Amino acid sequence: MGTAVRSVSAPDAVEDPRELRCLPRARLGGVCDALRDDLIALGARRGGHFAGSLGTVELTVGLHWVFDTPRDRIVWDVGHQAYGHKALTGRRQQLDRVKCADGPSGFLRRAESEFDVFGAGHAGTSISAALGIVEAQRRSGDAARTVAVIGDGASTAGMAFEALNHAGELAADLRVVLNDNGMSIAPSVGGLRRTGEFRKYFESLGFSYIGPVDGHALDELIPALETLRDASGPTVLHTRTHKGYGFAPAAADPYGWHATSPFDRATGARKSGSNSGPPSWTEAFADALGRVADRDPRVVAITAAMPDGTGLDRFARRHPGRVYDVGIAEQHAVTFAAGLATEGLRPVCAIYSTFLQRAFDQIVHDVALQGLPVSFALDRAGLVGADGPTHHGVLDLGYLRIIPGLVVAAPRDENQLQHMLATAVGSDRPFALRFPRGAALGVGLDPEPKPIPIGHAEMLCDGSDVALFALGKTVSSALAAAEKLAQRGVSARVVDARFVKPLDRDALESAARHCGRIVTLEDHMLAGGFGSAVLEALAASPLHPRVLAMGLDDGFVEHGDVDQQWLDARIDAESIAQRTLAWLESC
């Protein structure tokens, strides 16, 4: 069953910063040891984000001991380095259910604790948020202090520079801790990392600079934090930490241990189970991109600090020198790709759906407006389960299909994925395709990826009573729902739409003519999504078919099990069949 999380009755297992601040400094080492022990036990039992929080144990304890939290505000960047913060702020026992529907989020959430000052799931936000808090405090006369803790590569985000630049202009009493571990998920990239000129960088922006200090040595760290606490004006404390510190396997490979499956604490061996199943969608994408690139030397790939999460590390082993990691800088990634495309290359931006939201203007202005052949591969589209609302990719159809000239598609399986990639690269136009998280379907692959007609749907089975128009992952649910409907005497046509833009209007008109009633299926928000596109297309149809759109209602979906999320959204096969049958009976 794994190693249980230690009880809060352990002598140094503190779970309230006010209790922590009653301890003498000499006791802090024991608190750190107990906290790290808990985090290792939690990782061994449950897996999940791991190495980042191990590297911030001393920093977390030091911040809560030196500063008067929650009156003093600590603004964390991202959440996977803040599990220790959660444990110290009343959620020690609850962490055993982290990312479960009945447990705490894996990220920072204001609704979860008064100590979570600002919600954080996307990197690079802490300094901007903290600066806003500081300015609001100045205007209200609040003497509380605010600290932004940025690290795990978030300082490569352009937004972080923008905030630092503004803070220097305001001469605000902003305190920043740079948790410098040389990593984001993968090793950090960029000129600042190579030159190491941190003092010059911060001082040029109007900051006073403290450090660097060893972020794991309390005798160095605590005095430095006290200096930061007592500083005035923009001040940065530079701490050097080691991601995965305190657990040898993670410290030796912080990249591989950023997130983990459950493991044997004594040996570090992962308990990942059998690898005999189908590949993940990410692996299928990487392999498909490799096959496309085998035949087209113009293809290059771009990641925003996620080479492993997007499969581009796998692609890079097949095609060395054809991957660019730009750091946590999605806006730059897109415009950089646009520049590459002007010179004849065919760039593929592999970015999670939820993160591509940050580059909307660049997609519009720098790619689509200029008609440049940039392809976007949106991993983690749809509901993603445990990572929750900050990471669900359920807005992409809405924000992409409104962009003129952009093709938007979704494959139903990994074989269609490789053909869509070939279509995208060979289309000489902006192209976006989305695919989900998790295991692919395990279908056989055609020998070579080949282009398919843009804007053409595919009818998978015919029927006369109702047409189920599905997209991407929902195609499997539609086929299963059609079988259930057949058992209840309903003949259902199933159409794989494949493309949201351009829509196959002929397929829609055919369904309207022969079935009269159409159901649309998507793992996306109903507002502005695939169903909306179908309704818009059929609004002027003289056939006036009845349309029922199934997807996600207006609201953020909480973290939990992805299958349960589909059940709750009523887009699983049984729910589709029941809802369709009830609707047909009411028509």
Beta bridge partners of 176: 148, 236
Helix/strand/coil for 318 = helix
User: Which residues lie below 8 Å from residue 63, measured CB to CB, with a gap of 6+?
Assistant: 69, 74, 147, 149, 177, 225
Maximal CA-CA distance, the chain:
80
CA atoms within 13 A on the CB side of 401: 25
Which helix (H) or strand (E) segment is 349 a member of?
Answer: strand 346-352
Q: How far is Cα of residue 19 from the mean position of the Cα atoms in its chain?
A: 35
Distance CA 106, CA 80 (A): 7
**Do residues 279 and 338 touch, judged by C-beta distance below 8 A?**
no
Taking the alpha carbons of 456, 459, 463, 466 in that order, is the dihedral positive or negative? negative
Edge-to-edge strand list for the sheet holding 299-303: 323-325, 299-303, 346-352, 375-379, 431-434, 407-409, 499-501
Query: Kindly report the CA angle at 371 between 366 and 374, in degrees rounded to 5?
Result: 70
Which two three-digit tokens encode residue 292?
A: 């496309």
Cα–Cα distance measured from residue 463 to residue 460, given in angstroms and rounded to the nearest whole number: 10
Q: Cα separation of 433 and 399, whole Å?
A: 13
* Distance separating alpha carbons of residues 441 and 559, to the nearest angstrom: 24
Which tokens hold the place of 92? 């020690």
Please tell me the distance from the alpha carbon of residue 289 to that of residue 348, in angstroms, as a whole number: 9
Nearest to 460 by CA among 403, 428, 425, 413: 413
Helix, coil or strand: residue 360: helix
Question: How far is it, in rounded angstroms, from Cα 450 to Cα 433?
Answer: 15
CA dist., res. 132 & res. 126, Å (int): 10
End-to-end CA distance of the chain: 52
Q: Rounded CA gap, 285 and 289, in Å? A: 6
User: Residue 238: in which H helix or E strand, if any?
Assistant: strand 235-240
Chain-centre distance of CA 96, in angstroms? 22
Determine contact, residues 46/262, Cβ cutoff 8 Å. Answer: yes
Beta strands of 6-157 (E only): which ranges? 48-49, 73-76, 146-151
**Residues of 459-491 as b/e, b for ≥16 C-beta within 10 angstroms?**
bbeebebbbbbbbbbbbebbbbbbebbeeeebe
| Residues labelled catalytic | 243, 330, 358
Nearest to 51 by CA among 218, 181, 245, 191: 245
